[in-house]
């Protein structure tokens, strides 16, 4: 079957027809680089693939350009000793170089590991060492963060924008003098392509391993979320960092698969810049995470602003009703929620033209997915009953497993179901309702923070005896991190120590991981096995109103 056989027909008239007629088309062998780039470079070489906008300075790259550059980089990777199955950490933002690095990884059969530039210190070192990366691709700021870190597997650091120093490798130099075409490795559809690190509540962050099949697995949900995309003239953009599965998987790769351009905006996000970009490039299909829409709603566009938006897809956390209402009015377009998790993205989605999603629902189950609500024993529950959202094991958007964690991978599955760790319910019409995490994961501006990772950093300080980290509601970021800290005997708490502890977490993990408030306490409740009773911490020590004080 052809590559487009997996796409939803745009003349589908109902959700029921869609579910009845849909069939997956995922061949035994495929390569992500071929799927999203090389085949377009052959059929429509002059079509725009990337539109780079750096503060209004615009540069366009065709599919032929992207293929040529990624071919050169793939040759360079081979020269640098990157082999099939090796891991390459890509710590960049929305940069053309990031896309080229991912494509080059796929072409040589390596595994690309996106890591947000927010991380530093222990947080960065853990991710590099856990996947045993041989190559680290970053900017000048990211390269400087490696100083003093013990990274035994790392052989080369590649720095973009001609800012490499010493033994570092200049990215641009890898793109010249290697003009021969590169034939991508003949990978299996279920061969590893990506590792996305997700913060959990049980120990260290886990590397979620995804396969080359991801390019097709996300398409049905993306088509629905963008109101039967693609349409003629569609231009795609996301405000989110490209280290997130929700940006690469929900927008960048699907748009390129469909042969439509993606606008790239390196640098820091600002609401005004987002409005400017959307108008300048006539963005029709933006993925705007809930955290982004919340910020935009606080800084509405000028009355003379004119947008060409057909549909907005959103996700990442629960959508406040007032923000949803504002977004629909501001952009005069449907706003379709999408529910997924790093381990199994694109699970449910809204599509206004096909069905009317209830305001408290995240949409209907995506085509090709079997989803249920289960109890602790893995037994399916009746419609309307609350339980754990679960996805059947054979979904092509499911992870292959956690990197080098077979026991935790096995624990994720019960009776054929992959447990999401999310609370929810399904009604008789296939609408999914999401009620939050079953564990203690904290979502700060849509970014996941595992409390144990923050606690581990706090415990590194000699003054700290015990620590418990929780999340509480916050109007500006969705959730704020709060830490209850028990000090060593004889040490007094105070503002100076609190600021010192906050700085420790900022420096060694990331800015979004630091506690917004620290409460010094006499005792921290734990279970008989020593695990923190976070519910009691939340109820006993922390009042949500205190966070904003």
**Which tens digit of pLDDT belongs to each residue from 172-231?**
999 999 989 999 999 999 999 999 998 654 557 899 999 999 989 999 999 999 999 999
CA–CA distance, 392 with 371 (Å, rounded to integer): 6
The three-point CA angle 449-290-394 to 5° equals 70
Length of the chain as a residue count: 549
Q: What is the mean pLDDT of residues 479-492?
A: 92
CA–CA distance, 449 with 199 (Å, rounded to integer): 5
Q: Where are the alpha helices (DSSP H) in 80-152?
A: 96-108, 121-130, 140-144
- pLDDT given for residue 541 in this prediction: 57
- For the record, the structure tokens of 8 come out as 């939803």
Q: Cβ atoms within 10 A of the Cβ of 230, count? A: 20
- pLDDT given for residue 535 in this prediction: 76
- pLDDT given for residue 531 in this prediction: 62
3 — pLDDT class (breaks 50, 70, 90): very low
Q: What is the mean pLDDT of residues 411-425?
A: 91
CA–CA distance, 170 with 192 (Å, rounded to integer): 27
4 — pLDDT class (breaks 50, 70, 90): very low
528 — pLDDT class (breaks 50, 70, 90): very low
The CATH number of whichever domain residue 82 belongs to comes to: 3.40.50.12780
- pLDDT given for residue 242 in this prediction: 94
Percent of the chain with pLDDT over 70: 95
Mean pLDDT for the chain overall: 91
CA–CA distance, 93 with 139 (Å, rounded to integer): 9
The count of structural domains within the chain is 2
The verdict on residue 82 lying in a domain is: yes
Q: What is the mean pLDDT of residues 18-26?
A: 90
The verdict on residue 237 lying in a domain is: no
Last residue of a domain, one of 200, 217, 234: 217
The verdict on residue 149 lying in a domain is: yes
What are the tens digits of pLDDT across the range 51-102?
A: 999 999 999 999 999 999 999 999 999 999 999 999 999 999 999 999 999 9
Q: Cβ atoms within 10 A of the Cβ of 170, count? A: 15
Last residue of a domain, one of 196, 217, 238: 217
What are the tens digits of pLDDT across the range 429-460?
A: 999 998 777 767 788 887 878 787 788 789 88
- pLDDT given for residue 546 in this prediction: 41
Q: Does a cis peptide bond (omega within 30 degrees of 0) precede residue 308?
A: no
Using the predicted structure, report yes or no on whether residue 544 has a pLDDT greater than 50: no
Q: Cβ atoms within 10 A of the Cβ of 121, count? A: 18
- pLDDT given for residue 199 in this prediction: 67
Cβ–Cβ under 8 Å, residues 292 and 476: no
The verdict on residue 308 lying in a domain is: no
Positive or negative CA dihedral for 396, 397, 402, 403? positive
Q: What is the mean pLDDT of residues 359-363?
A: 89
314 — pLDDT class (breaks 50, 70, 90): very high
Task: Work out the widest C-alpha separation in the chain, in whole angstroms.
Answer: 72
More confident residue, 180 or 478: 180
Closest CA to 34 of 93, 74, 80: 74
Using the predicted structure, report yes or no on whether residue 1 has a pLDDT greater than 50: no
Using the predicted structure, report yes or no on whether residue 547 has a pLDDT greater than 60: no
The CATH number of whichever domain residue 471 belongs to comes to: 3.30.300.30
Cβ–Cβ under 8 Å, residues 239 and 251: no
Using the predicted structure, report yes or no on whether residue 36 has a pLDDT greater than 50: yes
- pLDDT given for residue 530 in this prediction: 55
Q: Range of 472's domain?
A: 442-547
487 — pLDDT class (breaks 50, 70, 90): very high
539 — pLDDT class (breaks 50, 70, 90): confident
DSSP track, 187-241: -BTTSEEEEEEE--SSSS-EEEEEETTHHHHTHHHHHHHTTSS--TT--EEE-S-
545 — pLDDT class (breaks 50, 70, 90): very low
The verdict on residue 430 lying in a domain is: no
The verdict on residue 525 lying in a domain is: yes
Using the predicted structure, report yes or no on whether residue 112 has a pLDDT greater than 70: yes
The verdict on residue 436 lying in a domain is: no
Last residue of a domain, one of 191, 217, 243: 217
The verdict on residue 413 lying in a domain is: no
Based on C-alpha coordinates, what's the Rg of the chain? Answer: 23
């Amino acid at each position: 079957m052809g590559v487009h056989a997996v796409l939803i027909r745009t003349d589908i008239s109902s959700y029921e027809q869609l579910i009845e007629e849909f069939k997956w088309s995922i061949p035994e062998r495929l390569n992500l680089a071929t799927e999203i780039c090389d085949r377009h470079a052959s059929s429509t070489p002059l079509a725009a693939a990337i539109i780079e906008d750096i503060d209004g300075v615009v540069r366009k790259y065709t599919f032929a350009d992207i293929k040529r550059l990624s071919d050169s980089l793939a040759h360079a990777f081979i020269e640098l000793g990157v082999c099939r199955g090796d891991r390459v950490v890509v710590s960049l933002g929305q940069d053309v170089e990031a896309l080229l690095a991912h494509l080059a990884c796929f072409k040589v059969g390596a595994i690309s590991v996106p890591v947000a530039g927010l991380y530093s210190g222990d947080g960065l070192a853990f991710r590099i060492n856990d996947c045993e990366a041989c190559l680290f691709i970053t900017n000048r700021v990211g390269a400087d963060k490696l100083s003093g870190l013990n990274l035994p597997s790392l052989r080369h650091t590649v720095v973009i924008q001609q800012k490499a120093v010493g033994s570092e490798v200049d990215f641009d130099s890898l793109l010249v003098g290697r003009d021969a075409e590169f034939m991508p490795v003949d990978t299996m559809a279920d061969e590893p392509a990506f590792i996305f690190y997700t913060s959990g509540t049980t120990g260290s962050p886990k590397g979620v391993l995804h396969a080359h099949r991801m390019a097709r697995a996300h398409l049905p949900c993306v088509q629905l979320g963008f109101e039967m995309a693609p349409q003629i003239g569609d231009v795609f953009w996301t405000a989110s960092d490209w280290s997130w599965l929700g940006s690469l998987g929900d927008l960048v790769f699907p748009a390129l698969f469909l042969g439509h351009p993606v606008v790239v905006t390196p640098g820091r996000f600002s609401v005004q810049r987002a409005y400017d970009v959307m108008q300048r490039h006539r963005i029709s299909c933006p993925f705007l995470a809930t955290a982004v829409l919340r910020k935009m709603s606080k800084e509405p566009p000028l009355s003379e602003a004119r947008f060409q938006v057909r549909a907005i897809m959103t996700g990442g956390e629960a959508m406040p009703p007032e923000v949803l209402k504002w977004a629909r009015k501001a952009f005069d377009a449907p706003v379709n929620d999408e529910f997924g998790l790093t381990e199994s993205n694109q699970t449910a989605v809204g599509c206004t033209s096909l069905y009317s999603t209830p305001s408290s629902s995240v949409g209907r189950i995506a085509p090709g997915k079997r989803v249920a609500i289960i109890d602790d024993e893995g037994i399916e529950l009746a419609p309307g009953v609350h339980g754990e959202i679960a996805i059947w094991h054979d979904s092509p958007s499911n992870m292959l497993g956690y990197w080098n964690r077979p026991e935790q991978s096995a624990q994720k599955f019960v009776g054929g179901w992959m447990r999401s760790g999310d609370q929810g319910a399904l009604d008789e019409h296939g609408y999914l309702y999401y009620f939050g995490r079953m564990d203690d994961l904290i979502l700060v501006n849509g970014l996941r923070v595992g409390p144990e990772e923050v606690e581990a950093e706090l415990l590194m300080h000699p003054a700290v005896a015990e620590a418990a980290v929780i999340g509480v509601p916050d109007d500006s970021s969705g959730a704020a991190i709060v830490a209850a800290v028990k000090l060593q005997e004889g040490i007094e708490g105070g503002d100076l120590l609190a600021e010192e502890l906050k700085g420790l977490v900022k420096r060694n993990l990331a800015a979004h991981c630091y506690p917004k408030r620290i409460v010094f306490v006499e005792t921290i409740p734990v279970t008989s096995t020593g695990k923190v009773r976070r519910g009691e911490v939340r109820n006993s020590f922390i009042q949500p109103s205190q966070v904003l004080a």
